[in-house]
Chain A
Amino acid sequence: MLGRIWAITINTFREAVRDRVLLGVLGAAGSVLLFSLALAELSLDQQRRVVLDIGLASISLFSVVMAVFLGSSLLYKEIERRTLYVILPKPIRRHEFLIGKYLGITLTATVFVCIMGAIQLWVTSIQAGAAAVFVIGAPIVLLAILGGAMWKATDRTAVVPPWSAFALFVTALLASTTDVELMPLLASLLLIAGEIVLLSAVAMLFSSFSTPFMTGAFTVGVWLVGRSADDMSNISSRALTPEVESLLHALAWVVPNFDLFVPHPRALMEASAAMSPAGYVASTMAYGLVYAAVLIGAACGVFAKRDFV
């Protein structure tokens, strides 16, 4: 069963990576990260904070765009192009197909976050004044390794995921030569990946029964509402009637709480009375995984009953 799911996963990843749109998104996000260096210079003694805040916010935003785009289009493409009809008669269950698709999207998004994280760490190291030889050497060595691996490998796309993790590792080493606080940054990247895991599960649920446009609209809607979950559960305003307020409270109990994945920086830096940073990250990831599992379970149920004629 795992072999069959893996086959779908790696092919989904391949299909996603070959899509030129994603390269465009990656390029745009990378440019924003570099641009944050220029923006930081406009600030008064807050250069590092500007680089980190703009960088992490843009990584989060671009990965959300990517998860919505992939989640809403990939499954529908299989149905629209009728490639699904060739796959389903093979000895593979429908839920295995759907889980494979989901894992492929998650893999793509994780690779994206790793590459963006590596660029972010590199930019932060430049800002923090790392030695020039390392700053120039790291990207050259990494790109050379990628080129060499692509040249030698039989399956070129399979090279990218391990390489992205390695790039993150190397740039983390580079950043550790400076006085940048590394752990909160890595924790933020992990949480962004967690948010994407949950958001692509939302997209999969909607795409199991609706069209790409509607899926995109629904998913963005759930994301917007989920990002406001904390505000909704705490809201008390004179402008709202008690009925509306209780409706918002109830809504906050149902939607996934995306607020958790973008915590206040202090939550990742120092232990509070209730939780240590590591505990916070671990528990938030557990929440995201459990919620995503429920959504994927429901998506499998809907997809299994669908009539493809």
Chain B
Amino acid sequence: MQRALGVVGFIGILIVVNALSWVFGWGLWVY
């Protein structure tokens, strides 16, 4: 259970980082 939560949380963080790249223009997603 804990491991599954960890994996889901990890993927969530990755999505947040990718989303931040949009908001802050960290290397625009689509040039």
Contact = CB atoms under 8 A, between A and B. Distances in A.
A283 B19 contact: no
A253 B28 contact: no
Contact of B14 (A254, A267, A274): A254
Contacts, number: 61
Contacts of B10: 298
A214 interface: no
Contacts of A229: 29
Nearest to A254: B14
Contacts of B20: 290
Given A257-B21, A291-B17, A294-B14, A286 B26 contact: yes
A291 B21 CA distance: 10
B11 A272 contact: no
A278 to B, nearest CB: 12
Contacts of A257: 18, 21, 27, 29
Interface residues of B, number: 19
Contact of A283 (B14, B18, B26): B26
Given A254-B15, A254-B18, A290-B20, A272 B30 contact: no
Contact of B25 (A275, A294, A298): A275
B5 to A, nearest CB: 13
B11 to A, nearest CB: 6
By secondary structure, the A interface counts as: helix
Interface centre among B6, B17, B25, B26 (most CB of A within 10 A): B26
A284 interface: yes
Contact of B18 (A230, A253, A272, A275): A253
Nearest to A263: B31
Contacts of A253: 15, 18-19
A272 B25 CA distance: 13
Contacts of A223: none
B17 A283 contact: no
14 contacts: A257-B18, A257-B21, A257-B27, A263-B31, A264-B31, A272-B31, A274-B28, A279-B25, A280-B27, A283-B27, A286-B26, A286-B27, A290-B17, A294-B13
